[in-house]
Homo-oligomer: A and B are copies of this chain.
C-alpha cells in the first residue's frame, strides 16, 4: 500500500465543511473520497489535518490516504483534478512514508482571516472576506492580540460540544497586516477548537470598533463561559493557510 499526501485548495462556500457526514457527500472529504474510491475500485478513506467548518476555505489543507496499486504522484493528481468539482483543487501529491498521518503528525497550523475594511463592498472578494464598513482601530486590535498569545484554556472562545477533552491550546503568534483595503489576520498555534479562530477574530473586530476594550480579554478567558464572548466572524473570510509537520 502506498501512502499519499495531498495538498488541497478549496473554496468552501458551497460545502458543509471538511468532514464527511454520514452519507452526505456535500463535504470536501466526501467529494475527494468518492473520486478516490472510483479510482481505486475499493473504498478509500482520507485523513485531513483540519476539520474546517462549513463555508471555510483552504489554501493548503493537508490530507493523506493509503491505496494499493502503483499509481504515481502525477497519476493521482491528474485523476483527482479531472473528476473533482472546480472549487476543489489538488495542488500537490507526494508519496510519504507509511507512518505519516496528516492529523496526528501536524505540529502547528496557521489560519488566515481576511477583512475588507472599506465603506463599499468589494465585488470580487465578497465571498472570500468579511466586509466591515466602519474603520477599524488597528493599534487597539494589535494590543488585543497579545492577550490571546500563549497557553490558555479557550473554552470561552469555542463552541466545542464535548466538555471532556482538554480545551487548552497554545497560540504562538497573531499578526495583523494592512494590504490595499484588506486586513489580513494570521493566527498560528498548535491546535484550534471548533469555531475558535472565528470567535477570536470576532473579538478583535469588536475591539477595533471600540465595542469592548482589549484589557477585558483575560477575564473572558478566565470565565471559561462561552456566553461571555461576543460576535463570531463570518466563515467566508477564513482560510486554513499552512500546516507544519
Contacts and interface: CB of A to CB of B under 8 A. Distances in A.
10 contacts: A10-B123, A11-B126, A77-B119, A81-B119, A87-B126, A88-B123, A89-B120, A89-B123, A91-B120, A124-B128
Copy total for this chain: 2
Interface of A: 9-11, 57, 77, 81, 86-91, 119-124, 126, 128
A38 to B, nearest CB: 19
A9 B122 contact: yes
Contacts of A122: 9, 89
A173 to B, nearest CB: 23
Nearest to A12: B123
Given A11-B123, A89-B121, 17 more contacts: A9-B120, A9-B122, A10-B123, A11-B124, A57-B123, A57-B124, A77-B119, A77-B120, A81-B120, A81-B121, A86-B126, A87-B123, A88-B123, A89-B122, A89-B123, A90-B120, A124-B128
